[in-house]
Amino acid sequence: MNHLSIGLLSILFLASACNNKTPRGDADNGGLFLPDGFEALVVADSSGPARHLAVNANGDVYVKLRINKGDSGNVAMRDLDGDGRADSIVRFGDYPNDGSLATEMRIHDGYLYYSTEKVLYRQRLNPGELIPTSPVETVLTDDHPHGSHWHITKPVAFDDRGNMYVPFGAPSNACSDISVTPGGTPRSPGLRPCPERELHGGIWKFPAGKTGMTQKDGVRYSTGVRSVVGIAWEPRHGRLFAMQHGRDNLHMLWPERYSPWQNAILPAEEMLEVKEGDDYGWPYAYFDQDKKANMLAPEYGGDGHTPSGDTTLDLPAQAFPGHWAPNDIIFYQGSQFPARYKEGAFVAFHGSTNRSPYPQAGYFVCFVPFSNGRPTGAWEVFADGFAGVDTIVNTSDAKHRPMGLAEGPDGSLYVSDSRKGKVWRIMYRGPKDFDASRLKGMEARKSLPHLKTPDPMSDNLFREKPVPGAKLYNTYCASCHQRDGKGDELRFPPLAGSEWVNGDPARLVSIMINGAQGPMQVAGKSYNNIMPPFGFLRDEDITEVVNHIRSSFGNQAAPVTPKDVSAVRGMK
């Protein structure tokens, strides 16, 4: 890729501005499977670990990167010759990058908005400029202290009434998480009332256009919302929608109440039609997509069968299988696609990390048809093939993970990839009178391992592996560190080749018993998360899983004995 000066870029771009035709797709659609009549091309192959993206009125593409430190956390792309591919890819952004959950990239009212974990920024876009030269303005700062396990992404949505909406995420699963410390128990009862609902676990409304704000400058619009990465305003009927990530670790924390199969498919990922005053139940309840009901969370006495009993809680507008990770939502406004796509929403599912021992799932873009401004209850496979492999055993098996969605000025749909920063442009060239028969091939893809509901027995990938250490690892560790021991490249460090695994065995045993939290360097990379303690396991069980870790994934460390584990447990 050419990295040209801004002045030369502007000259070249103006010279090619007359070539505004929608380009042809790649012969292989960039590796994607699409409904008949659609095609795709690769705009950029590797811009860096991308989050959300936005497309300007002149076709320039802006991408937010996930970086933990340094500057230049944004990428700008420009097509100079009209072939649809980015001829120039330029890094920019003079602002601190304070975490791997940096998310937003959105254009609104002439400004480019982008966010880190705790701060929302903006810059005015001047005509002809690829890289904005206007001052960086701080729109909103999350001024609360947070632990490493908080969901503190800062996506943003703007309505047509002068308001801006931003979620303030909650701890991982339940309000008891705030009391988890090394030596504690991950099964502690939930707090009721939950104090975190006062300033977190909800969506706040702010005046659009203002800068220098903190949370106190807004009002709590809704509550009981655990984690939102994708949020958007539906303009045809004037409604706010948000995609909620459901909770994790039902089986790991409550194995006597939830089976590994339940853990894989529950709870639902939710599309919320968010209205002022709504309460979606976190942390007291979660939504079960099969029972179509809010269920009592186990930290509050739930067992997978007991409804929440709180009839004041709101229900999602649409529910999806667990752990698919809905990371963006967009309402199509263009005229290039058939008219049916104006009545509905596209959702990017980033893909699961914790469905073990069943295949990981998601990793696609779906379309949710609407009627009268609300989902019909059906969902369609719109773009698939991002992972490049099926069955997906470990998250690291997936070549690409769809992350962000944006609409171009000609009505093309853009999709970003969080792994390498690949960007696709999806276009339509079929007849305008779109026939449902064009969806048959995509409907058939719902039977593939990464999209279907797994069978409890036949789809258990490790049902014939009786090794105790491996079974314990798959039960308690694989949802984070993955079955191949490589982690997920974002939150959970690798065990393969780790100095924490192959070094002093007492240190690894202590982490298993007491848990760990806070900053940690693993294989030269920084991580800052929380691992719950597993001291409730017997010494023999901890021995088995530690030895499995120290002898797997390429590790060849000496084994430990139950006596070694007992000695570490006895240390004060």
The whole-angstrom separation of Cα 555 and Cα 502 is 7
pLDDT score, position 172: 77
Q: Which of 122-126, 467-471, 500-504 has the lowest mean pLDDT?
A: 467-471
Q: Is the pLDDT of residue 287 over 90?
A: yes
pLDDT score, position 277: 98
The whole-angstrom separation of Cα 312 and Cα 326 is 25
Residues in the chain: 572
**Is 452 contained in some domain?**
no
Residues near 182 by beta carbon (within 8 Å), at least 6 away in sequence: 514, 515, 516, 517, 533
pLDDT score, position 12: 43
pLDDT score, position 474: 77
Task: Name the band, by pLDDT with cuts 50, 70 and 90, for residue 337.
Answer: very high
pLDDT score, position 308: 97
Task: Name the residue with higher pLDDT: 462 or 350.
Answer: 350
Indicate whether 272 and 403 sit together in one domain.
yes
Of 411, 270, 383, nearest in space to 30 by CA: 383
38-52: pLDDT as tens digits: 999 999 999 899 999
pLDDT score, position 538: 80
Q: Is the pLDDT of residue 306 over 90?
A: yes
Q: Which amino acid does the sequence have at 544?
A: E
Count of domains forming the chain: 2
Indicate whether 276 and 185 sit together in one domain.
yes
Tokens representing residue 399 in the block: 């070549």
Q: Is the pLDDT of residue 98 over 80?
A: no
**Is 125 contained in some domain?**
yes
Q: Which of 106-110, 355-359, 371-375 has the lowest mean pLDDT?
A: 355-359
pLDDT score, position 148: 61
Q: Domain containing 546 — which CATH number?
A: 1.10.760.10
Q: Is the pLDDT of residue 10 over 90?
A: no
What mean pLDDT is predicted for residues 233-248? 96
Pairing of strands 202-207, 219-223: antiparallel
What mean pLDDT is predicted for residues 322-338? 97
Indicate whether 395 and 542 sit together in one domain.
no
The whole-angstrom separation of Cα 115 and Cα 229 is 12
Indicate whether 313 and 282 sit together in one domain.
yes
Indicate whether 382 and 260 sit together in one domain.
yes
Indicate whether 294 and 423 sit together in one domain.
yes
161-205: pLDDT as tens digits: 999 999 999 987 888 755 443 334 557 789 999 999 999 999 999
Q: For 210, which DSSP code?
A: -
Task: Name the residue with higher pLDDT: 466 or 32.
Answer: 32
What mean pLDDT is predicted for residues 144-170? 91
Indicate whether 396 and 533 sit together in one domain.
no
Indicate whether 477 and 532 sit together in one domain.
yes
**Is 194 contained in some domain?**
yes
Task: Name the band, by pLDDT with cuts 50, 70 and 90, for residue 464.
Answer: low
Indicate whether 239 and 159 sit together in one domain.
yes
Q: Which of 85-89, 176-180, 484-488 has the lowest mean pLDDT?
A: 176-180
**Is 453 contained in some domain?**
no
pLDDT score, position 571: 81
CB 261 within 8 Å of CB 456:
yes
What mean pLDDT is predicted for residues 278-294? 98
Tokens representing residue 202 in the block: 């909800």
Cβ burial, residue 402 (10 Å; 0-12/13-18/19+): buried
Task: Name the band, by pLDDT with cuts 50, 70 and 90, for residue 450.
Answer: very high
Q: Is the pLDDT of residue 107 over 80?
A: yes
Q: Is the sign of the CA dihedral 79, 80, 82, 86 positive or negative?
A: negative
**Is 454 contained in some domain?**
no
Task: Name the band, by pLDDT with cuts 50, 70 and 90, for residue 469.
Answer: confident
The whole-angstrom separation of Cα 411 and Cα 427 is 8
- pTM for the model stands at 0.86
pLDDT score, position 146: 79
Q: Domain containing 318 — which CATH number?
A: 2.120.10.30
pLDDT score, position 465: 53
User: What is the domain extent for residue 223?
Assistant: 6-447
